[in-house]
Structure 1
């Protein structure tokens, strides 16, 4: 899913590969071999996740809201909860909300089309080609925030955005409809388009391939430069996450006449995370999501529904459970965020420098038989995924502003820890296949996987 940034182990791309003067073209079957379904416990796991993940997204709302509270275990059964709901807040579907969501998605597409941006080449694909991607997410973000700020500052603007809070569930349903439509379309289209398939999404089992994603780089017919996967990765969901948080701050302001310091911390931390992602937008081209994973329900749901509608849990919670933090608490949480940012950014900077042939810190490394190099000192000598460690520290800083009245707002930090551990396993397995015995040597030099001296 979205927001596991710069996940691969550090290597340099200095290997020179000599290709035959007239290489023999590979057949479609040779380019797209069938592989056994091994990820996520195979077809059973993929099928279960396809149905369970949307239930969890809805459950986080129905189990934590101003009508039923946010207790564990819940005080009332689900049918009683839904029966008490105002129709605007609890209705699963609302056509106006669906129209608003569709307009939002089309707005981000329009911005992609008309705003300036650099065209960046991606990694070399196994058919010998490279795709180019338009990178103008930052301009989309800035333009959108400018419009939002202008709207909120006008009479009635706060109420207009508070409407989003009151229609959270139908907006979630609209995003689910969009991601399901996209997942179904690209899956069916991949059987006729002749496009390159993702290895792990080409098992022949529907439930597994639909979840993992069959096509590697799907596009809409007639629009070959519009890569659906990379667009969804950093546009509608990432920017929508910030818009939802702003809407929740507006809803809190309507009720209290002010925005609490805890809400400001969540807005600033998560807003900066989104901005930082868009500032380094081209870095997603090196992520496993883009280079390896297909585009199926896992990524479409993760980008369009899971990210914006579950990552905003803390801000939504603070609307109906406002918290005023002491100066000491604010200082501690800010320090935690800064620490996480420092580890995350400095680790990624070390990797970026080394990948681009620079080594300003004179970091140690080991040579591999592939002709590439693996860092064994600095942050990447402390663990194989130090950026994950920084990311997880930041997750705590996002949840702590909600206080300790309920454990549910801490869902994100628990989920994210599991997700990062799973990503680490997947990445280590890929590196083991890629480097062979060199990877075993590397793991002896760098034994810790994420948290130095702990895990």
Structure 2
């Protein structure tokens, strides 16, 4: 989601708890939840703009590209008026019920599917959150159920036709749920912790401005205590990161492929490639679920509207655009075009996965033969920054692999419309913005060590270019 930082107006600091922090034998007493002193996303005005515009743009993509047409003519007011169902037409009680059942299913599977409990990274207050790692098994269970219905009952079953017939209502249901969840975690962040102390807030979400803090999120790790499992912490942010949106994304793609078969009597190689590429990406994310615990989303960002909407709405309903387009606009690629697109996908995936695996292995098992030879910069903070291998090539080399894969997901749609390439452009902006946030965070964290690291590893994302 959009742009950069601006200094916040000066404000009197709120009362905060003091916390003694141990770091490499150096004890410092500092506030547990310091006042946020700078804004991202252009501050409250930018946060309000993103909060209002991202839902609107999600709807716009639906009206711009559907079974009727998919062209730049959607920019005309007449085109929008011809498709606009009215405000009441956006609400679909059946879709709302279906979406609530979707969450109910995921919660039940979270409870009953076994999985190890893993500690996250150490937080500012010295604690480590506990996370249940059964996302991959949940993914396999859900998709297996969907494929089972497809094989047993065929593509005309209501599980698949419902998605196509109620897609607009499902967008609305997910939007409403994401707003409700964001409101809940924002309000609950003001409720004292059970021990009577302060909850741990994100460093960037304690500005005191309601609009901004609601958008960026206040509490770092909001949890729910499920009444039937009082001793098992349910972390809302980690659950939402990879399950409701990621798994739904794959389920939607399968439903779109089923619609193409019903409509045209065949499934094209183009939609197969999109479903396989994106499905593999999601499966890989959930297979490596534990790796998400070291990402900025978990370690640094709070859970506010930005992540709630992004995880629940933006990911499944905009990232599935290519499969939805091909469901009603079939394209036959043939062997050589398919092979070329597969090569693009494999190149991007190799860079993305190899880089991330190298970083996680070095962080967790630095003596492993695959990383023991890497050179690094020892920081005064206590951590080590890799200066060779993938991470010596560019400071955020994994983003390059991610973006190359984005092209492979869009190329199967051909070149009849630029709309299906929205993801490539958006993702480039997202990755550059995220890289800027990473750089700023690391600059504050490592100080002069980060300047030395940038001197040793010059390139940001694309080696020798950027």
TM-score normalised over the length of structure 1: 0.91
2:161 and 2:107 map into 1 onto residues whose CA distance is 24
Q: Map 1:16-95 onto structure 2 (within 5 A).
A: 17-18=24-25, 30-72=31-73, 74=75, 77-83=78-84, 91-95=89-93
Is 1:438–2:449 an aligned residue pair? yes
> What residue in structure 2 maps to residue 99 of structure 1?
97
1:91 is displaced (CA, Å) by: 3.2
CA deviations 1:218-271 (Å, max 9, x no partner) are 112555600100000011111000000001001111011111000000000000
Is 1:281–2:289 an aligned residue pair? yes
| 3-state secondary structure, aligned to 1:427 | helix
CA deviations 1:41-85 (Å, max 9, x no partner) are 1111111111011011111001111224333564562553325x6
> What residue in structure 1 maps to residue 263 of structure 2?
255
> What residue in structure 2 maps to residue 447 of structure 1?
458
RMSD: 2.0
Q: How many residues of Structure 1 are paired with residues of Structure 2 in the alignment?
A: 432
1:68, 1:76 within 8 Å by CA — same for their partners in 2?
Answer: no
| 3-state secondary structure, aligned to 2:191 | helix
2:61 and 2:107 map into 1 onto residues whose CA distance is 29
1:367 is displaced (CA, Å) by: 2.1
1:241 and 1:79 map into 2 onto residues whose CA distance is 26
TM-score normalised over the length of structure 2: 0.89
1:175 and 1:190 map into 2 onto residues whose CA distance is 22
2:109 and 2:134 map into 1 onto residues whose CA distance is 8
1:454 and 1:135 map into 2 onto residues whose CA distance is 38
2:455 and 2:154 map into 1 onto residues whose CA distance is 61
Q: Map 1:8-407 onto structure 2 (within 5 A).
A: 17-18=24-25, 30-72=31-73, 74=75, 77-83=78-84, 91-155=89-153, 157-160=155-158, 161-194=160-193, 195-221=199-225, 225-355=233-363, 356-358=365-367, 360=370, 362-407=373-418
1:380 and 1:81 map into 2 onto residues whose CA distance is 51
1:349 and 1:256 map into 2 onto residues whose CA distance is 42
CA deviations 1:136-189 (Å, max 9, x no partner) are 001111111111111112235534203202211100100111110010011111
> What residue in structure 2 maps to residue 11 of structure 1?
none
Q: Which range moved further: 147-156 or 175-184?
A: 147-156
1:120, 1:132 within 8 Å by CA — same for their partners in 2?
Answer: yes
| 3-state secondary structure, aligned to 2:122 | coil
1:348 is displaced (CA, Å) by: 1.4
1:425 is displaced (CA, Å) by: 0.5
1:321 is displaced (CA, Å) by: 1.2
CA deviations 1:261-312 (Å, max 9, x no partner) are 0000000000000000001001111010001101110000000000000000
| 3-state secondary structure, aligned to 1:191 | coil
2:65 and 2:80 map into 1 onto residues whose CA distance is 15
2:152 and 2:77 map into 1 onto residues whose CA distance is 40
1:274 and 1:348 map into 2 onto residues whose CA distance is 15
Gap change, CA 1:334 and 1:77, over 3 Å in 2: same
1:97 and 1:73 map into 2 onto residues whose CA distance is 25
Gap change, CA 1:259 and 1:122, over 3 Å in 2: same
2:225, 2:233 within 8 Å by CA — same for their partners in 1?
Answer: no
1:40, 1:46 within 8 Å by CA — same for their partners in 2?
Answer: yes
1:70 and 1:100 map into 2 onto residues whose CA distance is 31
1:261, 1:325 within 8 Å by CA — same for their partners in 2?
Answer: yes
2:145 and 2:221 map into 1 onto residues whose CA distance is 32
1:366, 1:374 within 8 Å by CA — same for their partners in 2?
Answer: yes
1:192 is displaced (CA, Å) by: 1.5
2:70 and 2:280 map into 1 onto residues whose CA distance is 29
Gap change, CA 1:19 and 1:371, over 3 Å in 2: closer
2:70, 2:419 within 8 Å by CA — same for their partners in 1?
Answer: no
2:259, 2:327 within 8 Å by CA — same for their partners in 1?
Answer: yes
> What residue in structure 1 maps to residue 7 of structure 2?
none
Gap change, CA 1:16 and 1:43, over 3 Å in 2: closer
